[in-house]
Amino acid sequence: MRGSVYYQTGQLTKAIFVEGAKKEDRINPEHPHYKCIASYKSMKTYRDVWNNLGNYLKEHWKIKDFEKITAEHIDAYISYKIEYYPSRQYLEKVVSALGKLEDTLKRFALHTYGQERDYDFSIRQNKLHYAKVQQLVADGYHNRVYLDSKLIIDNLSSPKHKIAALIQLSGGARSEGVSLIKKDQLKDITIDPISKEELGIIETKEKGGKIGDVMVETYIYKYLQDIIETEGVFRIKYQEYADDIRQTCLKIGIIPHGSHGFRWTFAQNRVRIYQDHGYTYEQALQGVSWEMKHFRPDITEHYLGG
């Protein structure tokens, strides 16, 4: 499908929205209005999520065609939403809208090509269940900054988990950016243009293929370098890493916020570094946003409690 994100969601809306369609028809598999949407309010809610998804895929995955959306993209999008510690109600709304998108894409294909295409976004329910079980959703805004990150890291059971957490805390990497690091990603020691201190550069490739540099303290860089020299790569299993963080937090009496808590803490610390070196608040927001592989400065404000 061609056209802007908003044009495409408009076309999809035409395929699924039937004003005034009766409920008994919408739940009847034999009726033409099966699974259609009859409410303007519901349609707007779903379409808002579809627009957001489309813009996310365009920015992070270079996907511009809704017909090319796969379960992998849905998985990544929900993970992206979870990173911001959404409310339970909001994440449920997103998951519901993605389910309706699956229905809509099948219906659109049937009307356009004469046959359904195989879309399966059931991963969304698994992600929602996991987020609830792991307490990655809230009943409202909740700041996920760790007040004592070093205490958590010092008590992690795995040395590699400690290094992964330090990279997230020091450089703001996402969890997928620390799960596998190869030798060619180590870009040597450089001077931080903000603090003028020596920092190690790690090139990370995170979900959506977004590549960028993560700057970490030199001792972390050297730990990582030693492991890669010995083992060939630095590798951890994300689920084991997440479980280690959670169990450690519970053991030492800290509310667990997952690995993203280290990224949140980085954002706050890094904004202070910018300001301590003469940058305005607005300049700090934009700079940190770029370092965290975002574009808009207002994204950083979310990490600061805004």
- H or E segment to which residue 200 belongs: strand 198-206
Q: Is 121 exposed, middle or buried (0-12, 13-18, 19+ CB in 10 A)?
A: buried
Yes or no: say if 265 and 146 are a contact pair by the CB < 8 Å rule. yes
Distances (CA, A) of 247 to 111, 134, 148, 167, 237: 50, 11, 15, 20, 16
Inform me whether the pLDDT recorded for 39 exceeds 90.
yes
CA R_g for the chain: 22
- H or E segment to which residue 211 belongs: strand 210-217
> pLDDT tens digits, residue range 22-35?
999 999 999 999 99
Task: Tell me the domain boundaries of the chain.
Answer: 5-133, 149-303
CA angle 65, 70, 78 (to 5 degrees): 105
Q: What average pLDDT does the chain have?
A: 89
- Percentage of residues in the chain having pLDDT higher than 90: 66
- Residue 199, strand partner residues: 190, 217
What is d(CA 164, CA 158) in angstroms, rounded to the nearest whole number?
A: 10
Instruction: Please tell me which residue, 247 or 84, carries the higher pLDDT value.
Output: 247
> pLDDT tens digits, residue range 188-202?
999 999 999 999 999
Q: How confident is the model at residue 306 (pLDDT cuts 50, 70, 90)?
A: very low
What is d(CA 144, CA 83) in angstroms, rounded to the nearest whole number?
A: 10
3-state secondary structure of 114: coil
Which CATH architecture is the domain 149-303 placed in? Orthogonal Bundle (1.10)
Tell me the mean pLDDT in the region 42-59: 94
User: What's the CATH number for 5-133?
Assistant: 1.10.150
What is d(CA 250, CA 32) in angstroms, rounded to the nearest whole number?
A: 52
Q: Two tokens at 37?
A: 């949407």
> pLDDT tens digits, residue range 219-257?
999 999 999 999 999 999 988 998 899 999 999 999 888
Q: How confident is the model at residue 295 (pLDDT cuts 50, 70, 90)?
A: low
Tell me the mean pLDDT in the region 87-93: 89
Yes or no: say if 59 and 73 are a contact pair by the CB < 8 Å rule. no
What is d(CA 30, CA 47) in angstroms, rounded to the nearest whole number?
A: 26
Name which of 159-163, 168-172, 184-188, 286-290 the model is least confident about.
Answer: 286-290
